[in-house]
Amino acid sequence: MKVKADGGTELLRLLFERLGEGADAPGEAVVPDLTAAGPEGRTARTALALREATASGGWTLLDHPMLALEVAGSPVYLEPDAVVVHPDGTWTVVEIKSFPMIDASADAAKVGAAARQSAVYVLALERTASVTEGAQVGHRILLVCPKDFSNLPTASVVDVRKQRAVTRRQLARLTRVEDIAAALPEGTTFDPGRTPQELGSAVEAVPAAYAPECLAACELAFHCRAKARAEGAVESLGRSVRGELGGLTTVAGVLAAASGKEGDPADPTVAALRRAAALRAEALETANGGVRCH
């Protein structure tokens, strides 16, 4: 599915059909060269290309631009599939995926993941748009997928305002790297040249909230899992379980609350645990009595 071939003619056609209200049909779009040294250089080159494209008043296709977004006080570099600049100065994120769109419908979970990914690109673009005269970042992105089971492209417009708002709130709540570093004991270092004992002590000095999802993304997940299990932390059971248990933070505390040894009976979480424990005990008693449940 070579949707960006021939100067992005097919991509621009799809975008114009779905988001080209009030604009002239794109002829041959400008495709600027975005090559530069390093991510910082590519980010600066992309910002310059966006400003020039906005000022030109025509259609411009940026193929694999480099964007920067501040996350917890540090820059993170992002590379969307494409960004299209409209003649009116609107910037539209284009996300190209390999999953099919069958009868104009695609897998909802995959579309949701693409929307969350694109929302991050929108936030990064807004940083550049805020200092670019006449620019505005569109809250609707163009999702391009194979049509049915062919290699022909088709597209759908996805509104990412909700995902953008959620991501923005999550980023605002992140602790800055400087604040984390300031809370560490003086002299803490993660220099690979240190002894295993020194590195272990340094890692222990950093608090972590383990969840099973960490295993797929973090090299220290096994260390944090062992620590969470040793402490009996409910985080080891998953974020959803942790959220359901409210103020109960340890497995021992959960079992004590379920058995009636601890906890406030008026607490909805404690009451639910005790009901579940009673149902389990009843089911086991019935099973031991040889009565088959239907």
d(CA 88, CA 8): 19
Q: pLDDT (tens digit, 0 to 9) for every residue of the chain, 294 residues total? A: 678 888 888 999 999 989 877 677 777 789 999 999 999 999 999 999 999 999 999 999 999 999 999 998 889 999 999 999 999 999 999 999 999 999 889 999 999 999 999 999 999 999 999 999 999 999 999 999 999 888 899 999 999 999 999 999 999 888 887 887 888 888 888 888 989 888 888 888 887 888 888 898 888 899 889 988 998 998 888 888 888 888 888 999 999 999 999 888 888 889 999 999 999 988 988 887 755 444
Alpha-carbon radius of gyration of the chain: 26
d(CA 137, CA 157): 14
d(CA 294, CA 282): 14
Q: Where are the chain's structural domains?
A: 5-173, 208-288
Phi/psi region, residue 174 (left: phi>0; alpha: psi -120 to 50; beta: rest), is beta
Distances, alpha carbon 173 to alpha carbons 72, 76, 122, 178, 214, in Å:
9, 16, 19, 14, 19
122 Cβ neighbours under 8 A, 6+ residues apart: 93, 137, 138, 139, 141, 160, 164
Distances, alpha carbon 113 to alpha carbons 80, 106, 107, 120, 290, in Å:
14, 12, 10, 11, 48
Of the chain, the end-to-end C-alpha distance in Å amounts to 53
Asked whether the beta carbons of 209 and 234 are under 8 A apart, the reply is: no
Half-sphere exposure of 65 (CA within 13 A, CB side): 29
